[in-house]
Structure 1
Amino acid sequence: MTTTGTTLVIGATGTTGSRTAAQLTAAGHRVKAASRQATPVAGAEPVPFDWYDRATHAAALDGVDRVYLIPPLGDTDPAATMLPFLQQARTTGVCRAVLLSSSAIPQGGPAVGMVHQVLPDLFEQWAVLRPSWFMQNFTGTHAHARSIRDEGTIWTATEGGRVGFIDAEDIAAVAARALTDEQAPNTDLILTGPEALSHDDIAAIITEVSGRTVVHRRLPYEQMRDRLTTQVPVEFAAMLAGMDRAIAEGAEDRVTGTVQRLTGRPPRTFQALLEGRPLLG
């Protein structure tokens, strides 16, 4: 990696933001760690930041020349909030922006796809990370992890569709390179783990590693959508259930070599992620 100025990591306490901030600071880069509560992150300068409070934006951008963008969670129209910030960022001297999107959302697609579409027009140096579904969805506080712990069940509308699930540490490793390498990718990057797995496979691996029986229950799209509306807004629930349906149709059944190419090492397997850690902790 090359020497850089200061990177603003938005969502620095989140799944990929925390890992990206940690990897950057460990490599000796200057980081401003942005979160609503300005939570301390080892080696980084904590700064308050709220997408919906523009009064927090100027201080967060002060002295920054590159930014890692985590869209506002659950917002079905993030462009309305993000674009004014990105225009401000360009004006204040940000030269490189790396956006976290999704393998399921193409340039110009719904939600963050609209931010993806305009990013190259705003910054000469840029990248859009489009990871597949996170392995961490089955650990911690995610809804899948809670239902695994509470019921021994994974509920989806994915049927037997397969996904190239990826470790968030591998996403962060790519983010760190995209932010600090001498040449920005200036493209979107599809990120996956090393193998495509169905949710039946995921349940079997968790069962094998943990010793606790976990099963995958298949729901129709409508039932999955209704189940999700108890957790997120209706529009977002419909979008998530629709992504499940796309998985069932094969949309995520792929693996790429992007992590290996950009980081020089292979991505971690789901079994390796689970081994040596507390049950779904």
Structure 2
Amino acid sequence: MNTLIVGGTGTTGSRLAKLLPDARVGTRKPVRDGHVRFDWDVPATFDSALEGVGRVYLIPPVGVADPAPVVESFLARARQVRRVVLLSSSAVPEGATGMGALPALVRTMPEWAVLRPSWFMQNFTGDHPVAAGVRDGEIVTGTGDGRVGFVDAADIAAVAARALTDPLPHNTDHLITGPEALSYADAAAILTEVTGKPVRHRSVSTEEMTERFAVGLPREFAAVLARLDEDIRGGAEDRVTTTVEDVTGRPARSFREFLS
């Protein structure tokens, strides 16, 4: 079965594409062989991207309050698709609307898996606000002493690859974490040790975090992000699973290994 990687140039999709070099990469701006135009905002791109495809790695549209209608429309057109692997999040609860409605849609497919990774280690690099804090020497969050099982996006991609290609469908949710739960203060200490550049963590209130996120973001969305920090502070992400090793046969990468 041919595979379509929706969002194939993104954080997990690009890593998955390296593991599945024969897969079709769906992207808004195709730039090389194997790429095909796919844009959630342009449903006319769906059919050509799905032509001859039997498996899909599905990254839902980003920044959409309720992506369920467009995802449902996409799946309705995926008549030849047998297996769908959805990238969700450990922070997204099941629900009737919004991101929480997507797992139920995917479970209607003949074969499926829902990936629920914890927060990415890649948030500490690149363009993420946490990465900006790393560069400035101070990470600001509303997480308090709450801990997170940060996970490497490469490990998420490895689980996705198996979920897409294993002979037997997984037909389950995979809660994916790294091998240890760390507070942001713990992560800052490891960053300081590995890089030699002092980094500290400063925790602020949910209200202040909302104001910080609201610089450049709609206030409603900023409040949602701030509440996710509040959930971490309350212990919602303080857990570790063995999913990476159970599925791939090798242990998940630690934060220290990721930085080295």
State whether TM-score is above 0.5.
yes
Q: 1:195 to 1:129 in 2, by over 3 A?
A: same
| Structure 2 counterpart of 1:163 | 148
Aligned-partner Cα distance in 2 for 1:247–1:71: 23
Q: 1:109 to 1:255 in 2, by over 3 A?
A: farther
| Structure 1 counterpart of 2:253 | 268
4+ residue stretches of structure 1 with deviation over 4 A?
A: none
Report if aligned partners of 1:75, 1:236 keep a CA contact under 8 Å in 2.
Answer: no
SS at match of 1:252: coil
Aligned-partner Cα distance in 2 for 1:239–1:270: 26
Letter in structure 1 aligned against 2:119: W
- List gaps (5 residues or longer) in structure 2: none
Structure 1 residues 21-77: Cα deviation after superposition (integer angstroms, max 9, x where no partner): 11111xxxx31101110133xxx6100111010111111001100100111112121
| Structure 2 counterpart of 1:216 | 201
SS at match of 1:112: helix
Q: TM-score, normalised by structure 1?
A: 0.90
Where do residues 157-196 of structure 1 align in structure 2 (5 Å cutoff)? 157-196=142-181
Structure 1 residues 3-35: Cα deviation after superposition (integer angstroms, max 9, x where no partner): xx111001111000000111111xxxx311011
Instruction: Choose from 54, 76, 82 the match for 2:65.
Output: 76
| Structure 2 counterpart of 1:31 | 23
User: Residue 109 of structure 1: CA displacement?
Assistant: 6.5
| Structure 2 counterpart of 1:146 | 132
Letter in structure 1 aligned against 2:35: P
Q: TM-score, normalised by structure 2?
A: 0.97
Aligned-partner Cα distance in 1 for 2:90–2:228: 10
Structure 1 residues 76-95: Cα deviation after superposition (integer angstroms, max 9, x where no partner): 21112211111111x2x000
User: Residue 124 of structure 1: CA displacement?
Assistant: 1.3
Letter in structure 1 aligned against 2:94: Q
| Structure 2 counterpart of 1:101 | 88
Report if aligned partners of 1:66, 1:94 keep a CA contact under 8 Å in 2.
Answer: yes
| Structure 2 counterpart of 1:17 | 13
| Structure 2 counterpart of 1:278 | none
Give the count of matched residue pairs.
260
SS at match of 2:39: coil
Instruction: Choose from 98, 116, 133 the match for 1:111.
Output: 98
Report if aligned partners of 1:173, 1:263 keep a CA contact under 8 Å in 2.
Answer: yes
| Structure 1 counterpart of 2:35 | 46
Q: CA RMSD in A?
A: 1.2
Report if aligned partners of 1:9, 1:33 keep a CA contact under 8 Å in 2.
Answer: yes
Report if aligned partners of 2:140, 2:203 keep a CA contact under 8 Å in 1.
Answer: yes
